[in-house]
Amino acid sequence: MSIAIVKDEASIPTTGPVAAAASARKRASIRKMIGSVLSAAEWLLGLASILLAMAVLSSIPIGQFLALGYLLEASGRVARTGRLRDGFIGVRMAARWGAIAVAGFLLWLPLYGMSIMAESARIIDPTGPIARWWEFALAALAAAFALHVSAALLRGGRFRDFIRPFNIIWLARRVFRGGIYSESRDRFWAAIVSVRLPYYFWLGLRGFLGAFLWLLIPLLLLAQGHRSTALGVLGGVLLALVVPFIPFLQVRFARDNRFRAFRELRPVRSAFRAAPIAFAVALAIHLLCSIPLYLLKIELIPRDLIFLEGLVFLLFIFPAHLIDGWAYARGLRHSTPRHWLARWLARLAVVPVVVAYVLVVFSSPHLGWHGIASLYEQHAFLLPVPFVTWKS
């Protein structure tokens, strides 16, 4: 006769090394989950900061080359590594600047509210004691705000640095210690240098010139289409012939950082033969993402909101540049060409997209606010938004 011994779960000890190890593992998993959520939030904040910064730059003629340079560098890095995540350049650094902006805005809100109260008191009784009190309180709060934010920036500019309660006391001690000016100057200069603005400007300028030289003759012929139908049709045909190569010539240029890459059609064709489907998908996405943006050129928007147009442009064009780099990387990864059937199917698949793009470009002088000048804007390959977009 066998006796089955059943151990009650309640009898398992809840203390001791086993329970302590389980509790430690649970706390570690919770900390890991919280860290992952915070890291993802930081990444999203950095991406939003980059897009907003490029949208602002896109509304400035010189800044447009910086935005184009960033887009080309992103596609070039993806082409070198084959990983899409490598195209999001400086996301963590941008998250720091975005956190500074968000924290500064939140701290500014009480100051804004107090300024409204002071203005109301000044309107009701300009020389009364209440108005003078509100003005004094506003000046004191503004001074405290400036000192608090300055101390937070000197302490590292992290979000938690802005919510420290004794920043002003820390700043006073740091001033008496000495060397704060030289330290802050060096850190600010290092942050500016790390952004590499001259590099992105030079890359964007050369990328613009290389693509513009390929587009110049077709666009000049298209511009004459209202005078001679034959010239307009010839320009459309030439544009359809060069459009499939320009995105990948720009990727090769950004990958190698050589202006001569714009003349190297043979390596681009070899990469296409090795990954025809990827090239067809990338080209279709690039052109299809640029077609709806022509609708934004029907009417000019107010000058103060021009960066919103640039933001919409970048939301479409940025992913297209990343996918171009990914397709080019796949073409370089494979050394042998694909089957001829796959290559021809890829060519035939992009024909309707290329034709649709050429038709949109051909009709853009009749839709856009700038008339024939809209032919030369070509935001799909040149600047993210046109030069002249402001109302006078």
Compute the distance between CA of residue 213 and CA of residue 63 in angstroms, rounded to an integer: 21
Provide the token pair at 193: 């240098």
- 333's CB contacts (< 8 A; 6+ apart) are 82, 274, 275
pLDDT at 258: 93
pLDDT at 389: 46
Q: State pLDDT tens for residues 323-348.
A: 999 999 999 988 788 888 989 999 99
Backbone phi, then psi, for 323, in 5-degree steps?
Answer: -70, -35
Contact indicator for 43, 36 with CB cutoff of 8 Å: no
pLDDT at 14: 52
Compute the distance between CA of residue 311 and CA of residue 307 in angstroms, rounded to an integer: 6
3-state SS class at 387 = coil
DSSP state of 302: P
Give the distance from CA 268 to its chain's centroid: 26
Report, in this order, helix, strand and coil percent for the chain, each rounded to 5.
80, 0, 20
DSSP state of 6: -
Compute the distance between CA of residue 222 and CA of residue 358 in angstroms, rounded to an integer: 10
pLDDT at 3: 46
Provide the token pair at 13: 């000890």
pLDDT at 15: 57
pLDDT at 286: 93
> pTM score, two decimals?
0.84
Give 309: exposed, middle or buried? Use CB within 10 Å, 0-12, 13-18, 19+.
buried
Compute the distance between CA of residue 374 and CA of residue 385 in angstroms, rounded to an integer: 11
Contact indicator for 275, 350 with CB cutoff of 8 Å: no
Give the distance from CA 156 to its chain's centroid: 24
Compute the distance between CA of residue 201 and CA of residue 65 in angstroms, rounded to an integer: 5
Collect the ranges in the chain with pLDDT lower than 50.
1-12, 388-392
Q: Which residues of 342-365 are buried (b: 16+ CB within 10 A; e: fewer)?
A: ebeebeeebeebbeebbebbbebb
DSSP state of 370: T
DSSP state of 336: S
pLDDT at 16: 67
Residue 273's identity, in one-letter code, is R
DSSP state of 226: T
Contact indicator for 207, 378 with CB cutoff of 8 Å: no
- 216's CB contacts (< 8 A; 6+ apart) are none
